């Protein structure tokens, strides 16, 4: 037990989790914005945008995240010379955020579309009847209800995002939970169980409240029909 | 399609012009993006023939890509079977009327749904190395299967549970009324219907398993991605190798997603006793692709 | 183009083997008969190598190439095994000790550095090569050692000892950690990375296989990695393997294998240390 506690002093476990939380928050924000835009494109009257939205979702939803993150490094940074900060490691951290956001935006888009699914036809008909065109109807009538209906699936995307942020090691973010856990176990394989449970419980503590909160919110904010 | 048109008026001359402008802008964005990528990557020599020519050789496919794909599919196929078994056991456990079993199953399912698959894989990989049960070269494979099974099995357990919960109450009541016990009604009436209803979601879960199996290369399991990397380091074209690997994944997963869509359409006709979700049948975008979130990892 | 190069290497290796088979057939029969003879004679030998390290141990799709592979083939030949009797097994760095402890392989040739920690669980024959941590840079770069890296972008593999060493001793370097060296080299070709670090011979192997970009190994090593042959604790093969390595060096087959596998790269192994003299067997 003492051995195990001394490990916690030597390795910055909380710091590793903080890296994952940062990745999640930023990627969550960007994927939400991008995903909403994509959902709008997919329900818009403009065929080329519909096509672009659908193509985006089909490509990124079906590609393993590891490959997307590898392209962030090899393609964006390596070939296109894309940098997001003067400091190399900050830049690569942001590129990893971008990769996570690009992947999860496809799922945010689908979550919002499933939210649009919950909006009854009459709402759109009513919006049309009072003379609203597509954007005002979407902004004032459809999306506010759709977001409420999409809370539960959006919560699932956020949960997946937290867990998937561990894959960022493939996108050159080295000090996050999966790499730190691996190093700790390789260094002290005799306390492998406590090490694993420390990290596992950490994720349980992060994930379960989001699940409960989104379930509660989706019930509380559900549009009464 | 008809449902979509509800969102906007049948376009008049003015909005038809606006839509045309929008289409042109959209097309310019698409062409611009693709053009930029082509120009920028050509400047870096990424389209040089010698970087792509290996993919014209049968040996590249036979010894690297198809072989890697075989190991990917093998891990995924085994995991699907073990996940379904795990999911059935714990899904039924959560429906049990013995409180202790219900609680135990609940804790197991919630735990494994919360822990990242990659952490589980790394843990089992390093753990198995300490035991002598499996050959050392097999421990990555076993760790991949275990990680995928525990996570996806837990998701399937939830599908089983919600599938049964979403059945109309009358189904169970009818079972009880003809003298079945709760277990009998569950086994003979509710589960079979729930399984049929969850089939599309199950196929979507297969996509998640396939994508997540790509995490295996991190723990030295030689699957498609690992083979693509190996090919890339031998030929000096890792960028191209990963693109080809990504395309293979996209095609397979796209086919599976389409299958899920077809299944869910087919089943919505087939199951006369609708599941409860169909309450909101008149909705804006009738979209059968929403068969599950399927975010998974990797 | 590439195929021909590999083919040339394979032919050279085969030639070296035939030579050794002529010269050493009787001798190894006499020596091996007493000690390791039980395994030879129709039996196979399981040799652990890297499958993903071009220039050292690489799976070409059923055939294996690289310097480690050539040395392994020579040594196996000296122990009385024909090439058909060799069963190649992939042994990634993390699995090597376990594979030996569980007797899944008979010997390992996989850029396996002899260290005191490892000696507690496994035995080593050799070394058959002495590598050192070094830098791979573009041919026109003026970086000549780790002290020139201040503020530069350096790439290595996540969690590798090379990466750890740089982090500890040269904190001013921008270290990027990637899952594999191929990523590092690919990005260095486009100029976004200034140098790649790991053992010099691994760097040379990578450079020999890079399709584009002109690279050089700096040749200013800052560590000593003595590549040994990993053996199960208590194995009796050590002295025979050492004799085979000495003979390989003496005959010039060692030099030839090195040349063939690292052709076309600006790289000379550290001449003071190479070719090495195998340690005494414990």
B215 interfaces chain A, CB cutoff of 8 Å: yes
Contact list, A121 vs chain B (CB under 8 Å): 3, 6, 282-284
A144 interfaces chain B, CB cutoff of 8 Å: no
B220 interfaces chain C, CB cutoff of 8 Å: yes
Tell if the CB–CB gap between B23 and A47 is shorter than 8 Å: yes
- Residue A123 structure tokens: 């709402």
Please say whether the beta carbons of A116 and B289 come within 8 A.
no
Winning range, highest mean pLDDT, from A9-13, A203-207, C204-208: A203-207
Touching chains, A (3+ CB pairs < 8 A): B, C
Please state whether the peptide bond connecting residue C127 to the residue before it is cis, i.e. omega within 30 degrees of 0. Answer: yes
CA distances, B53 to each of B46, B219, C185 (Å): 12, 30, 20
Which of residues B241 and C263 earns the better pLDDT score? Answer: B241
The CATH number for B159's domain is 1.10.3720.10
Please say whether the beta carbons of A71 and A99 come within 8 A.
yes
Write the CB contacts of B5 (distance below 8 Å, at least 6 apart in sequence).
none
pLDDT (tens digit per residue) in C113-133: 998 888 888 999 979 999 999
Tell if the CB–CB gap between B130 and A65 is shorter than 8 Å: no
B91 interfaces chain A, CB cutoff of 8 Å: no
Which of residues C31 and B129 earns the better pLDDT score? Answer: B129
Q: How many alpha carbons fall within 13 Å on the CB side of residue C7?
A: 4
Q: For the purposes of burial, counting CB atoms within 10 Å of the CB of A222, is it exposed (0-12), middle (13-18) or buried (19 or more)?
A: middle
- Alpha-carbon distance A152 to A158, whole Å? 10
A180 interfaces chain B, CB cutoff of 8 Å: no
**Per-residue pLDDT band at C5 (split at 50, 70, 90):** very low
Q: In what order do the strands lie in the sheet with C153-157?
A: C174-178, C153-157, C195-199, C133-138, C215-217
- Residue B211 structure tokens: 């994508």
**In 10 A of CB B63, how many CB atoms?**
19
**B248 inside domain:** no
Residue C101 has pLDDT above 60, yes or no: yes
Tell if the CB–CB gap between B136 and C51 is shorter than 8 Å: no
Any idea which architecture C45-262 has in CATH? 3-Layer(aba) Sandwich (3.40)
Name the region of A40 (left: φ>0; alpha: ψ -120 to 50; beta: rest): alpha
A140 interfaces chain B, CB cutoff of 8 Å: no
Please say whether the beta carbons of B212 and B298 come within 8 A.
yes
B235 interfaces chain C, CB cutoff of 8 Å: yes
- Alpha-carbon distance B238 to B233, whole Å? 6
Q: How many alpha carbons fall within 13 Å on the CB side of residue C139?
A: 10
C92 interfaces chain B, CB cutoff of 8 Å: yes
Tell if the CB–CB gap between B63 and C104 is shorter than 8 Å: no
Residue at token pair 């969690």: C159
Contact list, C178 vs chain A (CB under 8 Å): 73, 172
* Strand intervals (E) in chain C: 45-49, 52-53, 57-59, 64-65, 86-90, 107-108, 122-131, 133-138, 153-157, 174-178, 195-199, 215-217, 225-232
| pLDDT digit string (tens) for chain B, length 298 residues | 334 556 666 677 887 888 888 889 889 988 999 999 999 888 888 888 888 888 888 888 888 899 999 999 999 999 999 999 999 999 999 988 899 999 999 999 999 999 999 999 999 988 887 776 787 778 889 999 999 999 999 999 988 888 888 888 888 889 899 999 888 888 888 888 888 888 888 888 889 999 999 999 888 898 999 999 888 888 888 889 999 999 999 999 999 988 888 888 887 665 544 444 444 444 444 343 333 445 654 4
Cα Rg, chain A, nearest whole Å: 21
Predicted pLDDT of residue C211:
62
Residue at token pair 């035939």: C18
- Alpha-carbon distance C30 to C27, whole Å? 5
B20 interfaces chain A, CB cutoff of 8 Å: no
What integer is the mean pLDDT of C193-219? 85
A174 interfaces chain C, CB cutoff of 8 Å: yes
Tell if the CB–CB gap between A89 and C176 is shorter than 8 Å: yes
Average pLDDT of chain A to the nearest whole number = 89
C98 interfaces chain B, CB cutoff of 8 Å: yes
Which residues 105-124 of chain B have a CB within 8 Å of chain A? 110-111, 113-119, 122-123
Residue at token pair 């001359």: B13
**Per-residue pLDDT band at A218 (split at 50, 70, 90):** confident
Q: Give the closest-approach CA distance of B209 to chain C in angstroms.
A: 22
- Alpha-carbon distance B61 to B244, whole Å? 11
Predicted pLDDT of residue C32:
37
Tell if the CB–CB gap between C182 and B238 is shorter than 8 Å: yes
Q: Give the closest-approach CA distance of A87 to chain B in angstroms.
A: 23
**In 10 A of CB C151, how many CB atoms?**
10
A82 interfaces chain C, CB cutoff of 8 Å: no
pLDDT (tens digit per residue) in A102-155: 999 999 999 998 888 888 888 888 888 888 888 888 889 888 888 888 898 899
Domain housing B161: 74-223
| β-pair partners for C134 | C198
Q: Which helix (H) or strand (E) holds B150?
A: helix B139-165
Predicted pLDDT of residue C213:
65
Please state whether the peptide bond connecting residue A167 to the residue before it is cis, i.e. omega within 30 degrees of 0. Answer: no
Which residues 35-54 of chain A have a CB within 8 Å of chain B? 43-49, 51-52
B276 interfaces chain C, CB cutoff of 8 Å: no
Predicted pLDDT of residue B1:
35
Predicted pLDDT of residue B282:
45
Which of residues A11 and B6 earns the better pLDDT score? Answer: A11
- Residue A125 structure tokens: 């008909």
Which of residues B264 and A29 earns the better pLDDT score? Answer: A29
- Alpha-carbon distance A162 to A206, whole Å? 8
How far is residue B132 CA from its own chain's centroid?
33
Tell if the CB–CB gap between B296 and A79 is shorter than 8 Å: no
Q: Residue A62: which of B8, B116, B257 has the nearest Cβ?
A: B257
- Alpha-carbon distance C99 to C93, whole Å? 10
Which of residues C39 and A23 earns the better pLDDT score? Answer: A23
- Alpha-carbon distance A150 to A155, whole Å? 8
B7: closest chain A residue by CA: A124
**Cα end-to-end distance, chain B, whole Å:** 32
Residue C1 has pLDDT above 50, yes or no: no
Coil vs helix vs strand at B35: helix
Contact list, A199 vs chain B (CB under 8 Å): 115, 119
How far is residue C261 CA from its own chain's centroid?
11
| β-pair partners for C86 | C45
Tell if the CB–CB gap between A192 and B123 is shorter than 8 Å: yes
Cα Rg, chain B, nearest whole Å: 24
What integer is the mean pLDDT of A68-77? 90
Residues shown for chain B: 298
**B28 inside domain:** no
Any idea which architecture A1-221 has in CATH? Orthogonal Bundle (1.10)
Predicted pLDDT of residue A97:
95
Q: Give the closest-approach CA distance of B296 to chain C in angstroms.
A: 21
Q: Residue C192: which of A81, A170, A186 has the nearest Cβ?
A: A81
Predicted pLDDT of residue B279:
42
Q: Please state the three-class secondary structure of chain A as a single string.
A: CHHHHHHHHHCCHHHHHHHHHHHHHHHHHHHHHHHHHHHHHHHCCCHHHHHHHHHHHHHHHCCCHHHHHHHHHHHHHHHCCCCCCCCHHHHHHHHHHHHHHHHHHHHHHHHHHHHHHCCEHHHHHHHHHCCCCHHHHHHHHHHHHHHHHCHHHHHHHHHHHHHHHHHHHHHCCCCCHHHHHHHHHHHCHHHHHHHHHHHHHHHHHHHHHHHHHHHHHHHHCCCCC
Q: Give the closest-approach CA distance of C152 to chain A in angstroms.
A: 9
Contact list, B58 vs chain C (CB under 8 Å): none
Tell if the CB–CB gap between B26 and A134 is shorter than 8 Å: no
Q: Give the closest-approach CA distance of B65 to chain C in angstroms.
A: 11
Contact list, B15 vs chain A (CB under 8 Å): 45, 133
Which of residues A112 and A174 earns the better pLDDT score? Answer: A112
Number of structural domains chain B divides into = 1
- Residue C275 structure tokens: 């070719």
pLDDT (tens digit per residue) in C156-202: 988 788 888 888 898 889 888 888 888 888 888 888 899 999 999 99
C51 interfaces chain B, CB cutoff of 8 Å: yes
Predicted pLDDT of residue A158:
94
């Amino acid at each position: 037990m003492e051995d195990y506690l001394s490990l916690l002093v030597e390795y910055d476990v909380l710091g590793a989790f903080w890296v994952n939380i940062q990745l999640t928050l930023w990627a969550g924000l960007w994927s939400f914005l991008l995903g909403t835009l994509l959902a709008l494109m997919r329900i818009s009257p403009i065929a080329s945008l519909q096509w672009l939205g659908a193509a985006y979702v089909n490509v990124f939803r079906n590609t393993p995240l590891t490959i997307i993150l590898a392209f962030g490094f090899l393609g964006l940074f390596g070939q296109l010379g894309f940098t997001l900060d003067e400091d190399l490691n900050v830049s690569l951290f942001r590129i990893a955020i971008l990769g996570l956001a690009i992947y999860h935006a496809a799922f945010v888009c689908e979550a919002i579309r499933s939210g649009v699914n919950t909006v009854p036809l009459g709402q759109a008909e009513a919006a049309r009847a009072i003379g609203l065109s597509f954007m005002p109807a979407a902004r004032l009538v459809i999306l506010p209800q759709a977001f409420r209906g999409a809370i539960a699936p959006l919560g699932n995307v956020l949960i997946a995002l937290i867990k998937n942020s561990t894959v960022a090691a493939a996108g050159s973010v080295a000090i996050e939970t999966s790499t730190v856990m691996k190093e700790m176990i390789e260094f002290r394989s005799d306390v492998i169980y406590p090490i694993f449970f420390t990290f596992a419980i950490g994720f349980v503590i992060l994930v379960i409240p989001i699940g409960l909160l989104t379930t509660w919110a989706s019930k509380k904010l559900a549009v009464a029909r | 399609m008809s449902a979509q048109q509800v969102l906007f008026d049948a376009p008049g001359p003015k909005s038809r012009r606006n839509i045309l402008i929008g289409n042109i802008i959209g097309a310019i964005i698409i062409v611009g993006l693709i053009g930029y990528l082509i120009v920028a990557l050509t400047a870096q020599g990424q389209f040089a023939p010698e970087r792509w020519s290996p993919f014209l050789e049968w040996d590249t496919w036979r010894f690297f890509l198809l072989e890697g794909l075989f190991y990917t599919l093998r891990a995924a196929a085994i995991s699907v079977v073990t996940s379904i078994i795990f999911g059935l056991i714990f899904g039924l456990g959560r429906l049990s009327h013995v409180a202790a079993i219900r609680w135990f199953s609940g804790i197991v399912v919630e735990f494994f749904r919360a822990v990242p698959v990659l952490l589980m894989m790394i843990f089992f990989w390093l753990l198995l190395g300490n035991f002598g049960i499996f050959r050392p070269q097999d421990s990555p494979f076993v760790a991949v299967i275990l990680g995928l099974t525990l996570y996806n099995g837990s998701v399937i357990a939830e599908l089983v549970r919600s599938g049964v919960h979403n059945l109309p109450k009358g189904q169970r009541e009818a079972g009880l009324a003809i003298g079945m016990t709760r277990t009998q009604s569950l086994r003979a009436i509710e589960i079979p219907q729930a399984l049929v209803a969850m089939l599309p979601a199950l196929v979507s879960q297969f996509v998640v398993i396939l994508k997540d199996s790509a995490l295996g290369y991190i723990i030295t399991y030689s699957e498609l991605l690992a083979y693509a990397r190996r090919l890339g380091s031998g030929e000096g074209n890792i960028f191209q190798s990963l693109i080809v690997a990504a395309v293979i994944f996209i095609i397979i997963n796209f086919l599976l997603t389409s299958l899920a869509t077809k299944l869910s359409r087919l089943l919505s006709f087939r199951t006369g006793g609708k599941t409860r979700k169909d309450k909101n049948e008149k909705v804006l975008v009738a979209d059968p692709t929403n068969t599950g979130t399927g975010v998974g990892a990797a | 183009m590439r195929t021909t190069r590999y083919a040339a290497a394979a032919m050279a290796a085969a030639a070296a083997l035939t030579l050794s088979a002529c010269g050493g057939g009787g001798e190894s029969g006499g020596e091996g008969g007493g000690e390791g003879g039980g395994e030879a004679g129709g039996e196979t030998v399981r040799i652990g190598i890297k499958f993903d390290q071009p220039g050292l141990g690489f799976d070409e799709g059923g055939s294996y190439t690289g310097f480690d592979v050539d040395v392994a083939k020579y040594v196996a030949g000296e122990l009385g095994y024909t090439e058909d009797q060799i069963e190649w097994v992939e042994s990634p760095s993390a699995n090597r000790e376990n594979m030996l402890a569980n007797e899944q392989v008979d010997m390992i040739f996989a850029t396996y550095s002899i260290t005191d920690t490892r000696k507690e669980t496994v035995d080593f024959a050799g070394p058959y090569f002495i590598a050192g941590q070094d830098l791979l840079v573009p041919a026109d770069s003026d970086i000549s050692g780790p002290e020139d890296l201040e503020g530069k972008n350096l790439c290595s593999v996540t969690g590798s000892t090379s990466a750890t060493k740089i982090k500890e001793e040269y904190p001013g370097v921008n270290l990027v950690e990637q899952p594999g060296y191929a990523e590092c080299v690919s990005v260095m070709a486009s100029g976004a990375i200034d140098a790649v670090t790991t053992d010099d011979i691994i760097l040379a192997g990578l450079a020999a296989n890079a399709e584009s970009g002109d690279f050089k190994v700096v040749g200013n090593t800052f560590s000593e990695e003595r590549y040994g042959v990993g053996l199960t604790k208590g194995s009796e093969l050590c002295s025979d393997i050492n004799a085979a390595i000495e003979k390989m060096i003496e005959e010039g087959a060692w030099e030839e294998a090195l040349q063939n596998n690292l052709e076309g790269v600006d790289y000379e192994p550290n001449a003071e240390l190479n070719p090495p003299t195998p340690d005494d067997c414990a």
